[in-house]
Structure 1
Amino acid sequence: MSRARFEKFKQVLRQRQHDMTLLTDEVHKAQNISAMLRTADAVGMPEIHMVQPHRGRLVYHHTAGGSGRFTGTAVHPDIQTGMNVLRQRGLKLVAAHWSERAVHYRDVDYTQPFALIMGAEKEGLSDYAAEHADAHVTIPIIGMVESYNVSVAAAIILQEALHQRQQNGQYDREIDENDPEIREILFRWMHPQMVRYCEKHKLPFPDMDDDGDMIPPADPRYRSPK
């Protein structure tokens, strides 16, 4: 494993935005969830939240071009639960939704803790989410189409959030590389095969050296994962 890759992973962790996330309101198409996972990783979200659709099963590609490995997911049984969880974390709930109180998506202060709520592909935002969201935002459209694809709309709004936060210096922070939680995340990213092996056999993760290479444990229970 190259030192450059290890440094890249640490840089990504330094830029993670733990007070910014995405909540999908029964979005069910795998390609849309995958696209939003890619966007979430691109703007520094450590995880996204999803509401289980009433019809069918929530299916999505965990890989999402590799980003699913770096961005966690939390699934909620309904929109009320999802919104309550995020509100309890102190996040402002911003819904992509046209209404009389909707504002241009660039007129919102995304430097504050927030969660962006995106509605389902055909039905849009649920009545509950629309009523209980703290703010509504819209993206101007001048063509014949009525709306952007849900994953495209999320990307447009979150790029504005990234821009505002970059201008505010929120992507410039330090991490404690010796923090056990940070070390675990780095190990998971650097050594996914060994992670699967350790979890299967209920073994603690081995240590890493300064280059991110795994230090072979002396314990005979470990062996190279196949």
Structure 2
Amino acid sequence: MTPERTEKLLSVLKRRQPDLSLIADQVNKPRNLSALIRNCDAVGIHSVHSVVPKEGYRTYRGTAKGSDFYVKNRQHESVESAIETVKSQGMKVVAAHFTDQAIDYREFNYTQPCALLMGAEKQGVSDVAAEMADQHIIIPMMGMVSSLNVSTAAGIILVEAQRQRMLAGLYEQQHLSDEEISRTLFEWGNRDLAKFCREKGLAYPPLDDIGDVIDAPGWHQRVQAGQADKYDWSGIAV
């Protein structure tokens, strides 16, 4: 990568907010899932959690697809798994869900570690997810329609989260570890090599602080000789 490109990626990573995330619960339209991830990238979210629809995902290639690469996506078989994962990381779960307990989305404190839960397009937030959520929020509606497209609603809420975090100065601090930044720079700058490592069950090669491979020829020789370090990538968001 050019020095200018490296500096651009570094500036993005230093603004990432690892304690802000999104859970997409069986959002079955690939276009909507891609748009959700685009929204997440725009507000500095580093990783999201998606619950795979029962019918799976259809292939989609669209204008939002490029953003998908820059946000890690960990897939789950159930919404319980996704919620338990973010809660184990100290995040509160705030569900966009119309109930008597729901508050205006602007009243929630997004500067605390939290994950926004968005339900499927038709069914919305499931009963089990609603029960597990720490807070329900709504976007006040002034017209005839009672709801917004899932990616539009998420975008509105996430911009409020961004506003609060900007006022709190959270984008002025580096939250990712130097190791995570180096690893992510490697993934962003070496897509094919990173994919090769994951497919072959290999650990990434030794990296410097800007994600460049240390002694690339030596590492390639170890790979060819079957001596490169192994790594279990199952369950790792990429």
Normalising TM by the smaller chain, what interval? 0.7 to 0.9
Question: Aligned equivalents of 1:90 and 1:102: distance in 2?
Answer: 22
Instruction: Decide whether aligned partners of structure 1 residues 135 and 183 sit closer, same or farther in structure 2, where only a CA change above 3 A counts.
Output: same
Residue identity opposite 1:98 in structure 2: F
Residue type at the aligned position of 1:166:
M
Give identity over the alignment, percent.
Answer: 41
CA apart distance, 1:131:
2.0
SS of the aligned residue for 1:22 comes to strand
TM-score normalised per structure 1: 0.86
CA separation in 2, counterparts of 1:128 and 1:111? Answer: 26
1:153 maps to: 153
In structure 1, the residue matched to 2:187 is: 188
Matched, 1:18 2:33: no
What's the C-alpha RMSD, in Å, of the aligned pairs? 2.6
Alpha-carbon displacement from aligned partner over 1:48-70 (angstroms, at most 9, x marks no partner)? 1111223x013465884311111
Paired residue for 1:112?
Answer: 112
TM-score, reference length from structure 2: 0.82
**Which consecutive unaligned segments of at least 5 residues does structure 1 have?**
none
Distance 2:82 2:112 in 1: 19
Mapped to 1, the partners of 2:175 and 2:114 lie a distance apart of 22
Q: Which moved more, 1:10-19 or 1:187-196?
A: 187-196
Which letter maps to 1:101? Q
Q: Aligned partners of 2:102, 2:111: CA distance in 1, in Å?
A: 19
Which residue in 2 is equivalent to 1:172? 172
> Does the CA-based 8 Å contact 1:93-1:115 persist in structure 2?
yes
Contact map agreement 1:62 1:68 (CA 8 A) in 2: no
**AA of the residue aligned to 1:196:** K
| Structure 2 match to 1:2 | 2
Deviation at 1:2, TM superposition (A): 2.1
Structure 1 residues 197 and 168 mapped into 2: Cα distance closer, same or farther (>3 Å)? Answer: same
Are the equivalent residues in 2 in contact too, given 1:96–1:116 (CA < 8 A)? yes
In structure 2, distance between residues paired with 1:62 and 1:116: 25
The offset of 1:26, in angstroms, is: 1.4
Matches within 5 A, 1:112-151: 112-151=112-151
Change in CA separation of 1:22 and 1:62 when aligned onto 2, cut-off 3 Å: farther
Hey, what does 2:227 align to over in structure 1?
none
**1:57 and 1:204, CA in 2 relative to 1: closer, same or farther beyond 3 A?**
closer
Cα deviations by residue, 1:134-178 (Å, 9 ceiling, x for unpaired): 11111111122120000110010000000100000001124788x
Tell me, in whole angstroms, the C-alpha distance in 1 between the residues paired with 2:203 and 2:72. 22
> Aligned partners of 1:71, 1:166: CA distance in 2, in Å?
20
Partner of 2:56: 57
By how many angstroms is 1:96 displaced? 0.2
Q: Which residue of 2 aligns with 1:39?
A: 39
**Corresponding position of 2:229:** none
CA drift of 1:209 comes to 8.8
Letter in 1 for 2:182: R
Q: In the alignment, is the contact (CA less than 8 A) between 1:187 and 1:208 conserved in 2? A: no
Cα distance between partner residues in 2 of 1:91 and 1:125: 18
Cα gap change, 1:60/1:13 in structure 2, threshold over 3 Å: closer, same or farther? farther
Aligned-pair distance for 1:195?
A: 2.7
Q: Using a 3 Å threshold, how does the CA distance of structure 1 residues 186 and 123 change in structure 2: closer, same or farther?
A: same
How much does 1:129 deviate? 1.3
One-letter identity of the residue aligned with 1:5: R
What is the total number of aligned residue pairs between the two structures?
219
